Amino acid sequence: MKILIAEDDFVSRKILNTQLTPLGKVDCAANGNEVFIAVKMAFEENQPYDLICLDIMMPEVDGIMALKKIRQLEAQKGLSPETRSKIIMITALSDKNHVMAAAQANCDGFLVKPIEKKRLFDEIRKHGFDIPE
């Protein structure tokens, strides 16, 4: 599995990296611009991400805008909802407006920090990934 962690907080990024590394190749981005560059490069290499964990509050380009740009790129590439990256929004903000904005931008899941490994893995499994307990 190819995974992108998009998280501006170093500690949160490190924790996610530690949790997800056993599942496959993990790349990290610290802001929304880095996210989009990584996704574009993955497409250019013909190795798109299977899973993207995307923080909502990031510098330069926030997670909702990054999500919209990723979905636009996937649509240009002709990907269907079944074949595109699974994107799980990760945030400390659980208010209704952020949840609705993420859903409208076609995220696949939503987790509120702090993120426990079990909740993260349960969410990943919901999207068809076969990962150990």
Summarised one tens digit per residue, pLDDT across range 94-127 is 777 777 777 788 899 989 888 999 999 999 999 9
Q: Report d(CA 126, CA 119) in Å as an integer.
A: 11
Report if pTM > 0.85.
Answer: yes
Exposure on the CB side of residue 39, measured as CA atoms within 13 A: 27
Q: Are strands 86-91 and 109-112 parallel, antiparallel or unpaired?
A: parallel
pLDDT tens profile 56-109 = 988 889 899 999 999 999 999 999 989 999 999 998 877 777 777 777 888 999
